[in-house]
Amino acid sequence: MIQVKSEQEVLQEGLQILLSNMEPSAVARFWAACNIGKGDYLKLKDELFAQESVVSLYSKIAEFQASNHEA
């Protein structure tokens, strides 16, 4: 049986790919430029970063920046 992902699932998967390959600020700018963010930004933000803290986000950003400098 073939399972078709919902539009929301596809958008969530795409956002996760963007977040794993771009800085969070760049993802936010991309999202705004594409006019994708027509929904409730605060709800989306809470869902995306529910398991994050300032420390965990800082670590991810520092790691991302270090890996980009090496490439």
Interval 39-71: pLDDT, tens: 777 787 788 788 888 898 889 888 888 887 765
Note whether residue 1 is domain-resident.
no
Task: Judge residue 24's burial from the number of C-beta atoms within 10 Å of its C-beta, 0-12 exposed, 13-18 middle, 19 or more buried.
Answer: middle
Note whether residue 2 is domain-resident.
no
Give the number of residues written for the chain.
Answer: 71
**Scanning the structure block, which residue is given the tokens 């771009």?**
22
Q: How many helices (H) and strands (E) does the chain have?
A: 4, 0
Note whether residue 66 is domain-resident.
yes
Overall domain count for the chain = 1
Note whether residue 39 is domain-resident.
yes
pLDDT at 17: 92
Note whether residue 5 is domain-resident.
no
Range of the domain at 52: 10-70
Note whether residue 45 is domain-resident.
yes
Note whether residue 3 is domain-resident.
no
pLDDT exceeds 70 at position 37: no
- Kindly report the pTM of this predicted structure: 0.46
DSSP reduced 3-state for 65: helix
